[in-house]
Each structure stands twice: as structure tokens, then as C-alpha cells.
Amino acid sequence: MSDAQKPLLAAQGVSLRPLARQAIGVFDSGIGGLSVWRHLRASLPHEDFIYLADTAHVPYGDKPQEWIQARMVVVVEWFLTQGCKTIVLACNTATAMAGTYLRERYPDLFIVGLEPAIKPALALTTNKTVAMLATARTVSSEKYQALLARTVLPDSGFNVLSIACIGLAERIDQGLLDAPDTMALIEQYLAPVNAARADVVVLGCTHYPLVVEHIRAHIAPDVFIIDSGAPVARYTRDVLLARDGLNPQTEQGSSMWFATKINADAALRWSQFSGQSTVDVRLLEL
């Protein structure tokens, strides 16, 4: 379950009207979070966005929790200096490792996090077998284990396969979507999904929607695939609406792009992943 499936408790916060014209910050350790940005842009066309990819330290999946928490404080502080009215953690690992910590540290800040959509998956499955694909850090996190404990009751008969897709997010972030070794990883991680006859697959990493066609090619055509981008965008919109925080401008909003490391092919990959014809990525030393 992501924030999008939780009651709108965040809607009870203070009014965001004074900040309504400020940008929404979107963060990912890499550029996989652009899959979430695309949903945000579709749901909130009049909002301005600032997207930050911590590409100098990608992947987060192999980092200690203490490091991720400390790094996320640096990230949040930077977004606050940009005047952002809310921050979307378009990164399952950052949410799992630091989401609760950040909300406790910044109680007045509207922070949107991602979690694997287990609850919607359980509502869809007909054979009570669900597969969740994510980074090793997300799969092993206390937050994810707590999510399973409160959604998959011992006597329910549901079976959730939690598959740590080591190396897949890194390959996608490098733009190697169609490379043979990327395809081999996808086939490897979907083998247990097919063996268990799971009829719902949860994409528990924002990178994975970028290779959803390859994932689809390795599973049965009637298997449902769920990612968190659309419900998270709806949740963000609903809370901003409830707290008078929607940008009142009538023209299309703008987006600014930042990365802590820029490779030679950055413009091409950011354009490819965002769906924008041109993307001007700025280097940020953070």
C-alpha cells in the first residue's frame, strides 16, 4: 500500500494556500522516478515541479539505512531552500528507509512516499498469489515487513512472493533497457512468478514501469501489473486540494531538472524516460 491507499490524514494539516504557487519537489535516487513524475504531470498539469536525481549515489538499494536517512535530510533541506510546498519521494527505497524518519523530523511538511501496492494487489488476485518486485533494500526493510504483517493475515490464505531484483534498477538507470543482460535479469526474476502462477505483479520500484513491456512479455497475458505512480499522483492532488494548495495558474506548469552527476548521454535518457522532447538537466553539487 502506498500513501495513495491511506486515509487522507495529511488533508488535516495546515492550509497550504500561502504556498500554492510554489513548486512540488520530486525525488529519486536515479531517474526511474520520472515514471512517477509523468503521472504527477498528468494529474496536476498546472503545477510546477523540481525533480532531483541523486545520480552521484545511485543505487540506494545497497546503502545502510542510517546513510539514507542522513542523505534524505540533505535532500529535503535543499528542496525547502527552493520553496517547495510538498515533496514526493518517488523512490520506494528512500520511502522504506527514511519516510517515517522524515515525517517525524519535518512534521509540518507534506511528504508523499511510495510503498509497494500490496493491498490493491490482494483485492485483484483470484488465486491468492501475488508477486512483488523491488530492490533488496525495500524487500528487507522493516517498513515493508510491517506492511505485509498488517495486510496479509496469517489465516487469509494469501501468498506474497517478495522478489529482490538485484541489479535491475541500476541497469535501467544506465539506459540499458533493451540490453541482453537486462533482459536476462527480467527473465530470471520473473521465473518464480510464473512458477508460482501469480496472477498479480506489483512493481515495487519506480524504475520498473520503464521496462513494463519486457516484464509483460515474460508473464501470462491475463496477469495484472500494478505500479504506484497513478494513485500517488491522485493522492497528492487530493491532499493539495483539501489544503488549498493547488496552484491557481491556468497555464501549463513548468519543470526543472537536477542531478548530482550527469553522464554524457543524460539528455537523451532523461528525455526518453520523461517523454519530453528536450530536457535541460542541471548539475547540482549536494
**Is 84 a known active-site residue?**
no
Asked, as a colleague might, if the bond just before 18 is cis with ω within 30 of 0, I would say no
Write the burial class of residue 222 (CB in 10 Å: 0-12 exposed, 13-18 middle, 19+ buried). Answer: exposed
How distant is the alpha carbon of residue 171 from its chain centre? 17
Catalytic pick from 52, 53, 90, 205?
Answer: 205
Catalytic pick from 44, 91, 201, 203?
Answer: 91
Which cell is 102 given? 522524515
The rounded distance, in Å, linking the Cα atoms of 210 and 164 is 17
Which residues have C-beta within 8 Å of that of residue 75, sequence separation ≥ 6? 27, 52, 54, 286
| Catalytic site positions | 91, 205
